[in-house]
Amino acid sequence: MAVKIQTLSLTDRIGARTVAGLMALVIGSILVFGVGLANSQTLHDAAHDTRHSYGFPCH
């Protein structure tokens, strides 16, 4: 019984890590795209120095 509980909690843990990883990937990609790559004049001008400093293609 004890072994079974341990196995379940391990599976849950791996599942939670993967779910958290996928969520982080989606949110992080949106943020980085907005700061570094989005083709919006307002975003470009606000993030101009950051884009250049990180070596994002700019202008």
Q: Which residues bind another protein (CB under 8 A)?
A: 9, 12-13, 16-25, 27-32, 34-37, 39, 41-42, 44-59
Longest alpha-carbon distance in the chain = 63
Q: How far is the CB of 24 from another protein (least distance, A)?
A: 4
Residue 1 corresponds to which tokens in the numbers above? 């019984």
| Residue 15 vs residues 7, 22, 29, 55: alpha-carbon distances, Å | 12, 11, 21, 35
Nearer residue to another protein within complex by CB, 7 or 46? 46
Nearer residue to another protein within complex by CB, 7 or 16? 16
